[in-house]
Amino acid sequence: MRRSAALRSLVRETRLDLDAFVMPLFVGPDTRPNPELPPLGRFSVEELVGEVEGLVRLGVPAVILFGIPEEKDDEGSGAWDEDGIVQRALRALRPRFPELLLLTDVCLCEYTAHGHCGVLRDGEVANDESLELLARTAVSHVAAGADAVAPSDMMDGRVGAIRAALDDAGNEATPILSYAAKYASAFYGPFREAAESTPSFGDRRGYQMDPANVREALRECELDLEEGADVLMVKPAMPNLDVIRAVRESFDVPVAAYNVSGEYAMLKAAAAKGWLDEQQAAVEALTAIKRAGADVVVSYWTKELAQWL
């Protein structure tokens, strides 16, 4: 059954379908292309509209927005500002692309001067105080046109806080895609450059997960489900295929995986050196993520994949 392309295709167990892919996009006060890693460049709101138009034309069904504000402060107030960067982007995109799924990342780290995912008290992230700000951010995104929100902060209790706030605001039908098992990973490097979200001191190991743990990932997923998560996400994807599989087998809700910037960058860099064929390597990696059990894949390759498919 492997003798010809047609036979192989007939019995292929896992297929890449653009419908399952989400393209991450960065929006900021100005456009700053990234020539080496184009999807990690940033767009002004105006130029974002043009980029999204191209994606829609290619058949990309969904995007997730990350915002880089003009100014940062200790509380990260740009995150829930009615006139904040993501809110402005949503209001520009929503009427123009009614069919496109608009997801938003909900976190404070792009908006806080210190770069942590919550507010600080005595030099430490204050979990419970951060919840209200995250919930306010999610509600403001939905008011501006988001179809679903994706909290990535890893504070305890944030899914429940966001669910309650969305319901209070009359958004009972808005789903929450939770970054349920988000590891403290070295593979986020290029993203942090793009989103300007590198912590100014310390690291995120106090709230993100230890990459050595898988039982803890299931516990995190269980808590998020109890709090009302609709989709469980594992991040990063390639170093955690076993975690994706374990989440897939333990829960019956959709599972998402974030194929992060470092995973993208390492194959890009190897391809640029002539060491790998990028398209073949990317398709193999994305297929493995789906084979591991991901229903939804957030990937910087989404635009290129749309062209390859």
- Pick the stretch among 106-114, 234-242, 253-261, 266-274 that binds Zn ion (CB under 5 A): 106-114
Q: Which residues of 70-96 are buried (b: 16+ CB within 10 A; e: fewer)?
A: eebeebbbbbbbeebbbbbbbebbeee
Closest CA to 68 of 131, 115, 34, 3: 115
Residue 123 has which token pair?
Answer: 């030099």
- Pick the stretch among 93-101, 103-111, 126-134, 180-188 that binds Zn ion (CB under 5 A): 103-111
Task: Tell whether residue 285 is a contact of Zn ion (CB under 5 A).
Answer: no
Of these residues, 72, 235, 290, 303, which one is catalytic? 235
**Binding residue for Zn ion, selected from 85, 117, 176, 243, defined by CB under 5 A:** 117
**Binding residue for Zn ion, selected from 65, 90, 109, 155, defined by CB under 5 A:** 109
Closest CA to 244 of 255, 252, 253, 260: 255
Q: Which residue has the tokens 């709090």?
A: 227
- Pick the stretch among 14-22, 80-88, 111-119, 121-129 that binds Zn ion (CB under 5 A): 111-119
Provide, rounded to whole angstroms, the least separation between the CB of residue 112 and Zn ion: 9
Is the Cβ of residue 168 or residue 210 nearer to Zn ion in the bound state? 210
Q: How far apart are CA 221 and CA 161, in angstroms?
A: 16
Task: Tell whether residue 232 is a contact of Zn ion (CB under 5 A).
Answer: no
Is the Cβ of residue 109 or residue 260 nearer to Zn ion in the bound state? 109
- The answer to whether 290 is a known catalytic residue is no
User: What number of chain residues touch Zn ion (CB under 5 A)?
Assistant: 3
- The answer to whether 303 is a known catalytic residue is no
Give the residue closest to Zn ion by C-beta. Answer: 109
Task: Tell whether residue 107 is a contact of Zn ion (CB under 5 A).
Answer: yes
Residue 247 has which token pair?
Answer: 């989440």
Q: How many residues does the chain have?
A: 309
Determine which helix (DSSP H) or strand (DSSP E) holds 233, and give its type and residue range: strand 231-235
Is the Cβ of residue 55 or residue 208 nearer to Zn ion in the bound state? 208
Assign residue 281 a region (left: φ > 0; alpha: ψ between -120 and 50; beta: otherwise).
alpha
What residue ranges bind Zn ion (CB under 5 A)? 107, 109, 117
| Catalytic residue IDs | 182, 235
